């Protein structure tokens, strides 16, 4: 079994490089998509400091449905266009929310959450779901986190069999 040794205190550019490399190592040779998303969320939780939730919502039918994650139990179903997740999914664009209380329609799953980033998961232009990361402090995610997490999703996309997870 691969052992990830990511130093969470290193500069963000290196941290996210290590994270993408560890993701490749963790997923290497494993075809099961649930196992791979579960390990991807565990890797994020291990590497990122000052977060309280990280994981996936997968597009299933018309809704985003809770997938593998790390953190407190969360709301299961989010309609497209609702909350931070549904808005990022509908726009097909990353959303960085420095203050969740100032985001109209924010869905509070863990009351500790103060800021949030949601990265859409697109495979050949087709929406498969989102990556959601929450933090217990305002303004946790900067432009380096944004590009690092977008890179994480880009690394993840070709390594997961999305078609067997989501409704076509």
Binding site for ligand SME (CB under 6 A): 53, 74-75, 78, 83-85, 106-107, 109, 113, 116, 132, 134
Task: Choose between 3 and 134: whose C-beta lies nearer to ligand SME.
Answer: 134
CB 166, CB 56: distance < 8 Å: no
Q: How far is the CB of 100 from ligand SME (least distance, A)?
A: 7
State the DSSP code for 61. T
Q: How far is the CB of 136 from ligand SME (least distance, A)?
A: 12
Task: Choose between 130 and 166: whose C-beta lies nearer to ligand SME.
Answer: 130
Q: What's the alpha-carbon Rg for the chain, to the nearest Å?
A: 15
Q: How far is the CB of 56 from ligand SME (least distance, A)?
A: 10
Tell me the residue number closest to ligand SME, measured at CB.
Answer: 83
CB 107, CB 78: distance < 8 Å: yes
Can you name the residues that pair with 135 across neighbouring β-strands? 115
Q: How far is the CB of 64 from ligand SME (least distance, A)?
A: 8
Task: Choose between 39 and 106: whose C-beta lies nearer to ligand SME.
Answer: 106
Residue 109's Cβ-count burial label (10 Å; 0-12, 13-18, 19+) is: buried
Task: Choose between 39 and 113: whose C-beta lies nearer to ligand SME.
Answer: 113
Distance between CA atoms of residues 70 and 52, nearest Å: 8
């Amino acid at each position: 079994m691969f052992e990830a040794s990511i130093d969470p205190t290193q500069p963000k550019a290196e941290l996210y490089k290590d994270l993408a490399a560890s993701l490749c190592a963790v997923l290497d040779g494993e075809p099961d998509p649930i196992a791979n998303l579960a390990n991807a969320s565990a890797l994020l939780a291990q590497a990122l400091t000052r977060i309280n939730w990280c994981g996936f919502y997968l597009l299933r039918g018309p809704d985003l449905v809770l997938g593998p994650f790390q953190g407190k139990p969360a709301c299961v179903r989010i309609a497209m266009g609702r909350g931070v997740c549904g808005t990022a999914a509908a726009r097909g664009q990353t959303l960085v929310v420095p203050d969740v209380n100032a985001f109209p329609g924010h869905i509070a799953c863990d009351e500790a959450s103060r800021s949030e980033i949601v990265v859409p998961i697109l495979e050949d232009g087709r929406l498969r779901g989102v990556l959601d990361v929450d933090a217990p402090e305002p303004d946790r995610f900067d432009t380096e986190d944004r590009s690092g997490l977008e890179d994480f999703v880009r690394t993840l996309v070709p390594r997961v069999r999305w078609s067997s997870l989501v409704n076509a």
